[in-house]
Amino acid sequence: MRKLLTTSLWTILITGLGYLWLGFLAVPALGLHIGNQLLQAYSKEPAQLQRLEFNPLSLELRLWHLQIGEQPALALQAAQARLDWNPLLQGRIHLSEVVLQQPHALIELDNKGQLNLLQLFDLPPGEQPASESAPFPLTLELARIEQGSLQYRDLGPKQPVDVRFEPINTRLQGFSLDQPEPASFELQLNAADGTRLQADGRFDLGNLNVDGSLNLEHLALTSWWPYVREHVLLQLNSGTLHLQGSYQLQLADGLQLKVNGLDAKLQQLELTDTARQPLLKAAAIELGQASLDLAAQQVAVERLLIHKLATPLILDQQGQLNWAAISPPAKAGATKTASTASATPFRLADIPWHLKLASFKLQDSALDIELNNQPEQVRLKLHALNLDLDGFDSRSEKPLKARLDTRLGEQGQLGLQATVAQQSLASNAQLQASNLDLRLARAWIKPYAGIELLSAFADASLDARFATLHEPIPELAGNLKVKQLHIRDQTQNRDLLKWQALNIENISFKQQKGHTHLGIGRIHAVQPYARLVINENQTTNISQILKPQPASEPAAAGDNSSFSFALGEIRIENGSANFADYSLQPHFATAIQKLNGRIGSLATDQNKSTPLNISGAVDNYAPVRISGSLTPFDPLQQLDITTEFKNIELTALTPYSGKFAGYRIKKGRLNLALHYQVSKGQLEASNTVLLEKLQLGEKVSSNDAVDLPVRLAVAMLRDTKGDISIHLPVKGDLNSPDFSVMPIVWQTLRNLLTRAVASPFKMLGSIGKAGNKDLGLIPFSAGTARLNPEASALLDSLASALKQRPMLQLNIEGTSSQAVDGPTLAGRVLHRRYQEMLYRQLQEQGKPLPADIYSLEVPEKLQERLLPQLYQDLLQSGKVAAMPSLPRRERHDWQRQQILAYMAAEPLYLRWLAQQRAATIRSYLVEQGGMEVERLYLLDVDEKATADTDTVITRLHLDVL
């Protein structure tokens, strides 16, 4: 018995020692040897495991320094695994802990998409299992990766992707191949480009589902952009992504993915095209509380914010948008699928996905629009751009709310508020705009008219309504104001149309099927100005600026659309106009100022008459008045108009008197009263003409002049006051094609003049001059219309004398002399041209303009720059000689002398100076001397006066009232 016990103890001891020897020594050595042999047998790259240890008591395995590949492709600093005894005795493998320390992997895809790890080993083909077997009984209680690293490299894109992740730390707990309990995991990794990733969650291998949370920080998009470059030709200069949220993924019954609480932020995004031209910049793009349900096809976003977005939209000369260039060229053999238009109207609810966006904000952004496909480049800059959208839901009927405000150019402001029905897209919008620069319209005006829009700004307050997107029947209401309009005729380089403000109030525009209606409550024009010129060939300046257009397409057959128009009233405030007739010799020109008045309602369906009341003044002192009423669109139905002209200077009508009467007008005023009444096409009119103190001038040769002794006829028609009063009644049927008003008026006037030749007349004499001094000679310094002290003293004495002689009237004959006035006048005219050129520059630059163009100060250095431009303008019109070859220092003086010589000899400037002198004397006597303007007459000027000194004398004449 004792011997048996001893034998048993030795057996146990030897067995235990053998087990320990095998576990501690034999198994590690054998395992290391076999492991390296297997690595060499199946690895295509150098591979080695340096050390292996096994603890047979704790069933713990350790290994060190595993490396596969020279780079290496796979490596491990150390690893350990511990197996539990009890589950092992029950036929299960239970690893209580597995730790991998500093593992490393190189994942590389070549240019053919082959993975390097698949090329590392040459493994024999595995045997296919005969049938599905039960899951392997393996449980992993805890697994960790500590300080791991991963090198990811993809050589497939044109620009390779190369990103290193280090350190990588992971934790896996409760993992089992055959148990239903889900496992939990944690992951932390950093990348060399600054990316940080934290993830945790749980996954169920049996049911193939995983859920968890993700936190991604500072993801550098430039590291992964080569994948995007394969599909779009965009260059990413910068951009980082931050992202966090939770997710649920199921694979058992098809792919199901849910994302909740997703917050994402993209910072410092900058995109350019392949030529490094900027396409898009954004300081931040933030996505807040987003969710995704793949199975339900639903995306919901609580908020989306884009901050400081800047993007240019550029159309080249072919109309190609700069963004269109980001699409790569089509591959050879690729065919485009023809799109077929659906007859069913588009609705958001028809989209398979349910999209929701509670709040969208675009803040402090900029949009630069550049159009190069127009006759001249158009640039529109929108900055300080803010856009808010609230309540977007692709399945909802609730209206979407939108708000937009931005600045346009340097001064423009634009605000928009709208509600949009999300299915029909019917919308209501309110637009507020101020100081919109309308010079942007130049490019679209240029093909139609030879004009230059120097300045124009618009204010608007409009409400708009659109029924649907498919049938956009708009309704528009509100007010529009166009201010500081200034249009110049490029042919004659003169102002064509101006106004300080044009207010269009209570606009109402409605479009229905087959009918369009436009209503305007009031049009109010403030300080409007227009210029009309009849050229030598009988054409007008308006016809000259209009450019020929191709013939328009004929109207489609069966187009029964109608249009109606209604206007409440038109108001004119302080308007003016210039009229010139260059078909006459001498040329005729006059100006109308102080235009004020009102025109009543106008409507296409209006049968009642509209009141009309307009007043003004010719040459500032001759009042004009038009009043009455008419049926706007059918004047033959009812018309009652009275027109009155008073104190019109007949000297301004010299071109017409020369053409039709054969005499210039030396002196005279015209009072004209016209009263025209029409009722159902029947005209009854009275024309009353009063010519005050008419004196004919020199005879003018004219083929159109009446063959009558005009001087005798005029003398015979003058009454004891020296006036001629003519009454010309006219009656007739305007519906008759043989009836014309003007031939009847002229024939009646001719008959009257013919009778006047045989009538007696009475001559009036003048009574001489007053005072002890010769007050009829007013001296002016050379080249100026300003009164010097001597002239002012003479006029003061003259005014005092005329107040004592109330029956006298004063005739003012302005004079000028080329020899005396020419040189000095040329300097003044040149300075005014400098002021006009500077004024145009300020207009083009959109800078503030002075109220008076001739109050501008032009520095000498600027004059030196403007002089060559003025010389070239005059040279092109043949008014100055071509400059010979001169040293650079002498060119300026030579050009200046040429310009001054032309201006000194120009008759138009001398005539203008003479008119200014006469007007100055009249203004002084009226405003300083207190005289009645009715007693002062302006005679035709003498621009060819002679003078022996540097003073030019303007002559005054006295007549009896």
Cα distance between residue 406 and residue 651, in whole Å? 56
Q: Is 18 helix (H, G, I), strand (E, B) or coil?
A: helix
Cα distance between residue 368 and residue 381, in whole Å? 5
Predicted local confidence at residue 200, as pLDDT: 92
Tens digit of each residue's pLDDT (9 = 90 or more) over 41-98:
778 788 888 888 888 877 788 888 888 887 788 888 999 988 887 777 776 788 888 9
DSSP H stretches of helix in 806-887: 818-844, 860-876
Mean pLDDT of the chain: 79
Q: Using CA of residue 936, residue 939, residue 944, residue 945, what is the dihedral sign?
A: negative
Cα distance between residue 413 and residue 416, in whole Å? 10
Which residues lie below 8 Å from residue 567, measured CB to CB, with a gap of 6+? 519, 520, 522, 523, 601, 602, 603
Best CA proximity match to 387, nearest among 413, 363, 357? 363
Predicted local confidence at residue 158, as pLDDT: 86
Q: For the chain, which residues make up each domain, given as ranges?
A: 232-327+349-396, 398-528, 584-764, 777-960
Predicted local confidence at residue 97, as pLDDT: 87
- Flag whether pLDDT at 223 surpasses 70: yes
Cα distance between residue 485 and residue 451, in whole Å? 13
Best CA proximity match to 302, nearest among 394, 397, 214, 390? 390
Predicted local confidence at residue 954, as pLDDT: 85
Percent above pLDDT 70 for the chain: 76
- Flag whether pLDDT at 749 surpasses 70: no
Q: How far is CA 242 from the centre of its chain?
A: 36
Q: Using CA of residue 867, residue 870, residue 874, residue 879, what is the dihedral sign?
A: negative
Best CA proximity match to 777, nearest among 958, 908, 959? 958
Predicted local confidence at residue 557, as pLDDT: 53
CATH architecture label of 777-960: 2-Layer Sandwich (3.30)
Cα distance between residue 765 and residue 658, in whole Å? 26
Give the best-scoring range by mean pLDDT among 38-47, 372-381, 713-722: 372-381
- What single letter denotes the amino acid at residue 739? F
Tens digit of each residue's pLDDT (9 = 90 or more) over 569-580:
889 999 888 877
Predicted local confidence at residue 751, as pLDDT: 57
More confident residue, 556 or 811: 811
Predicted local confidence at residue 204, as pLDDT: 82
Q: pLDDT category, 481, cuts 50, 70, 90?
A: very high
Predicted local confidence at residue 766, as pLDDT: 32
Q: pLDDT category, 485, cuts 50, 70, 90?
A: very high
- Flag whether pLDDT at 738 surpasses 70: no
Cα distance between residue 246 and residue 209, in whole Å? 14
Q: Using CA of residue 26, residue 32, residue 35, residue 41, what is the dihedral sign?
A: negative
Q: pLDDT category, 126, cuts 50, 70, 90?
A: low
- For the segment 623-639, the average pLDDT, to the nearest whole number, is 78
More confident residue, 240 or 137: 240
Give the best-scoring range by mean pLDDT among 450-464, 800-814, 869-883: 450-464
Tens digit of each residue's pLDDT (9 = 90 or more) over 306-330:
999 999 998 888 878 888 878 776 5
According to DSSP, residue 121 is labeled: B
More confident residue, 429 or 896: 429
- What single letter denotes the amino acid at residue 62? R
Ranges 168-177, 722-731, 736-745: which has the least confidence: 736-745
Predicted local confidence at residue 9, as pLDDT: 67
Q: pLDDT category, 761, cuts 50, 70, 90?
A: very low
More confident residue, 413 or 590: 413
Residue 548 has which token pair?
A: 């020929």
